[in-house]
Amino acid sequence: MQICSLGNIKSKGLSFLSSISLTQFRNYGLQSFDFDAKVIGITGNNGIGKTNLLDAIYYLCFTKSYFQSKEIHNVQQGLDGFRIEGAFLDMAAGAPVATSIVWKEGKKKIMEKGILVERVTSYIGKHTALMIAPDDIALINGASDVRRKFIDGLLSQADRNYLEQLLAYQKVLTQRNAYLKQVPAIHLNHDLLDVYDNQLAQSGTYLMQQRIQFSNELPVLVQSFYQQLAQQTEAIDVVYKPCIHTPEQLKALLQYNRARDIEARRTTAGLHTEDWALLLNEHPYKTHASQGQKKSMLISMKLAQLEWLRQLGKSPIVLLDDIFEKLDQERLSRFFALLHQLEIPQIFMTHTNTEELRHLVHAHFSSLQMITL
């Protein structure tokens, strides 16, 4: 797979976060930060709010938290809403883009350049980010839904139509599951279930096509980064396990499983059940890899995500939460060297030890800003 030159990427513009303001977000009552370096080190004691600051940056890019599934958990205790404001600098145009997100009493409002964003799908992908956090090891050890979320999130950043079709698929799936759960089997309308099945097949076709195409490219990137990071020659692979290959097959699959769905009162087969097998020497990574190998695989998949987006002209802001706890010094140094090679526009990282962070960053980057909370 050909890698785009940096010149081609820069011509499309890279986002750089120059400032962020938090109001009633987690443990922040009212606080602002200005950023003027390629690498921003955030230090302080545990529980002081380092991860919350990273999550606020992530939220500004994706309109949702990386860590919290319920919005109310993002609100400072005892209050009813929060506000995040930021300014992104388009490094190609040289112009700031003011963005704000307000959540209050169950309602969310997104503003960009003073204009209300009517559809979240038109916003996602404008400002991309990638988080690496301690619990991400679930990508290796966890259930299939963690890997689907990883793949869907990546493809949604790059392809607005993928995001729209994914949301459409999830909406119909929710409706179908609710119908199966609420209506007794004897009273189910099979014509309505046929309608649901056709709608799932319609949205699922595009999702399936893009997943297949991406899954042909992903293993090459992961293998390359793994070899550079771990300095090992063991055979690793990422294998997509699609449930179908055509819309007709998806409709047939849903029809075939209908009796099972009625008994289970939910949709038991479809694109929402697919997985990507992670293999080490043709064996499941989860059961055959050491802890060090699992960490190397996790970081390699994240680096592959960065490089794939970079080839499409996007270059995410990288958010590293306690990365120093994930890797030994040798792997950590190689990881930073790879980030340097990828020409990431901006990197935020947290650590409790200011001098250790400063020492490692200066070995690979010349531009560093330290923020102590």
The span from the CA of 97 to the CA of 80, in Å, is 27
- List the chain domain ranges: 1-128+314-373, 142-312
Question: Is the dihedral angle over the CA atoms 325, 329, 331, 337 positive or is it negative?
Answer: positive
Q: What amino acid is encoded at 215 in this protein?
A: S
The span from the CA of 58 to the CA of 317, in Å, is 9
Helix (H) or strand (E) holding 32: strand 28-34
Q: What is the pLDDT along the chain (373 residues), one digit of tens a residue?
A: 233 322 333 334 457 999 999 999 999 999 999 999 999 999 999 899 999 999 999 999 999 999 999 999 999 988 999 999 999 987 666 678 999 999 998 999 999 999 999 999 999 999 999 999 999 999 999 999 999 999 999 999 999 999 999 999 999 999 999 999 999 999 999 999 999 999 999 999 999 999 999 999 999 999 999 999 988 888 999 999 888 888 899 999 999 999 999 999 999 999 999 999 999 999 999 999 999 999 999 999 999 999 999 999 888 999 999 988 778 888 899 999 999 998 888 999 999 888 988 988 888 998 899 999 9
Give the class (CATH, top level) of 142-312.
Answer: mainly alpha
Within 8 A by CB and 6+ apart from 225, the residues are: 299, 300, 303, 304, 307, 338
pTM score, whole prediction: 0.91
Question: May I ask the CATH architecture of the domain 1-128+314-373?
Answer: 3-Layer(aba) Sandwich (3.40)
Tokens of 356: 């250790």
Residue 92 pLDDT = 65
Instruction: Determine how many CB atoms are found less than 10 A away from the CB of residue 359.
Output: 10
Between the alpha carbon of residue 89 and those of residues 99, 127, 135, 317, 369, the distances in Å are 11, 10, 30, 12, 17
The span from the CA of 345 to the CA of 54, in Å, is 16
The angle at the Cα of 190, spanning 188 to 192, to the nearest 5 degrees, equals 95
The angle at the Cα of 51, spanning 46 to 56, to the nearest 5 degrees, equals 150
Task: Of 214, 279, 221, give the one whose Cα is nearest residue 242.
Answer: 214
Tokens of 359: 């020492």
80: helix, strand or coil: coil
Sheet containing strand 107-112, edge to edge, reads 28-34, 15-25, 81-90, 95-104, 107-112, 115-116
| DSSP 8-state class, residue 85 | E
**In the block, residue with structure tokens 């040289």:** 94
Helix (H) or strand (E) holding 18: strand 15-25
User: Directed axis angle between helix 190-230 and helix 291-311, to 10°?
Assistant: 110
In contact, 142 and 285? CB cutoff 8 Å:
no
Residue 14 pLDDT = 59
Residue 247 pLDDT = 85
Tokens of 364: 């690979």
Helix (H) or strand (E) holding 324: none
The span from the CA of 17 to the CA of 19, in Å, is 6
Within 8 A by CB and 6+ apart from 191, the residues are: none
The span from the CA of 327 to the CA of 311, in Å, is 26
Q: What is the 3-state secondary structure (H, E, C) of 191-249?
A: HHHHHHHHHHHHHHHHHHHHHHHHHHHHHHHHHHHHHHHHCCCCCEEEEEECCCCCHHH
In contact, 222 and 299? CB cutoff 8 Å:
no
